[in-house]
C-alpha cells in the first residue's frame, strides 16, 4: 500500500516536521504559497492560543530538501471568487515561482480552502499541473475519477486514522492523510504524529510515496 502525506501552508512548524520525516525516511508533499513568504520569517495568524509564523524565503530550500513541492496558489485566496486574470496569476505565476525557487518541476496543486469550480479546475490544468488535491474524503481513493478532484483518506488528527488506514489496504491500496503542522500545538500531539510515522514506516505492507508519483 502506498502512503501519502500532504501538508499545507509553509509554516515554521514544517521545519520540525521535515526533520521528523527524514528520520523515518518518510516521503511527503508540501503545498506552498510563494507570494506569502518574505525573506525572513513573518507572522501569519493566530491558531487558538498559538502564533503561526511563515517560513522565510531564505530557509525554504533547506527545510523542504528532498520533498515534493506542490502549488497552493500565490496568496491563498478563495479561487472561485477571482476574475480570469487574477486566477491565472494565482495559479500559473505561483507555479513558475516555485519551480524557479526549488529548481524542480511542480506538477501538483492543492486548492486553498479546498474550494474550486470548473473554471478553477481548468486554470489549474492549463497551467501545467497533472493533479489537484481537495479536502474531500473518499474511498477508494485511487485512481480518482478526475485527477483535478483528487480526494484524501483523512486528516492526520482523525480519531479514526488507523481504521481508515486498514480500510485503504482493501480499497485500492492508497492512503493519503493531510493537515497543517501548526495544528501540532503541544508535545503530546507531536509524539502521536511520530508514533504514526514510525508505525507506518515499520509496516512491511506500506510504502511511502509523494502525491506526484501516483500520477
Residue-level pLDDT at 5: 99
Residue-level pLDDT at 105: 97
Q: pLDDT tens, 106-119?
A: 999 999 999 999 99
Q: 144 lies in which domain range?
A: 2-214
Count how many domains the chain has: 1
Letter string b/e over residues 171-194, b meaning 16 or more CB atoms within 10 A of that residue's CB: ebebbbbbbbbbbbeeeeebeebe
Task: Give me the count of residues in the chain.
Answer: 215
Which three cell numbers mark 124?
Answer: 489549474
pTM of the model: 0.97
Which three cell numbers mark 32?
Answer: 506552498
Residue 141, CA distances (Å) to 26, 54, 105, 115, 201 in order? 20, 31, 24, 19, 21
Residue-level pLDDT at 171: 86
Query: Which regions in the chain score pLDDT beneath 50?
Result: none
Return mean pLDDT, the chain.
98
Residue-level pLDDT at 172: 75
Residue-level pLDDT at 213: 97
Domain harbouring 49, CATH code: 3.20.20.370
Residue-level pLDDT at 123: 98
Amino acid at each position: 500500500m502506498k502512503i501519502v502525506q500532504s501538508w499545507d501552508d509553509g509554516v515554521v512548524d514544517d521545519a520540525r516536521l521535515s526533520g521528523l520525516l527524514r528520520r523515518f525516511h518518510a516521503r511527503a508533499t508540501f503545498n506552498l504559497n510563494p507570494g506569502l513568504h518574505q525573506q525572513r520569517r513573518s507572522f501569519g495568524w493566530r491558531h487558538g492560543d498559538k502564533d503561526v509564523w511563515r517560513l522565510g524565503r531564505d530557509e525554504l530550500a533547506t527545510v523542504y530538501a528532498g520533498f515534493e513541492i506542490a502549488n497552493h496558489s500565490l496568496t491563498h485566496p478563495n479561487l472561485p471568487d477571482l476574475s480570469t486574470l487574477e486566477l491565472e496569476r494565482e495559479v500559473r505565476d505561483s507555479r513558475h515561482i516555485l519551480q524557479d525557487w526549488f529548481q524542480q518541476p511542480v506538477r501538483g496543486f492543492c486548492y486553498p480552502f479546498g474550494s474550486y469550480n470548473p473554471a478553477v479546475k481548468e486554470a489549474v490544468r492549463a497551467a501545467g499541473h497533472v493533479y489537484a488535491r481537495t479536502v474531500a474524503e473518499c474511498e477508494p481513493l485511487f485512481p480518482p475519477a478526475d485527477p483535478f478532484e483528487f480526494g484524501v483518506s483523512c486528516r492526520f488528527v482523525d480519531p479514526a486514522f488507523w481504521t481508515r488506514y486498514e480500510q485503504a489496504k482493501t480499497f485500492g491500496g492508497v492512503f493519503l492523510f493531510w493537515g497543517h503542522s501548526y495544528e501540532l500545538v503541544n508535545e503530546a500531539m507531536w509524539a502521536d504524529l511520530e508514533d504514526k510515522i514510525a508505525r507506518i514506516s515499520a509496516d512491511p505492507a506500506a510504502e511511502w510515496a509523494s502525491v506526484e508519483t501516483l500520477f
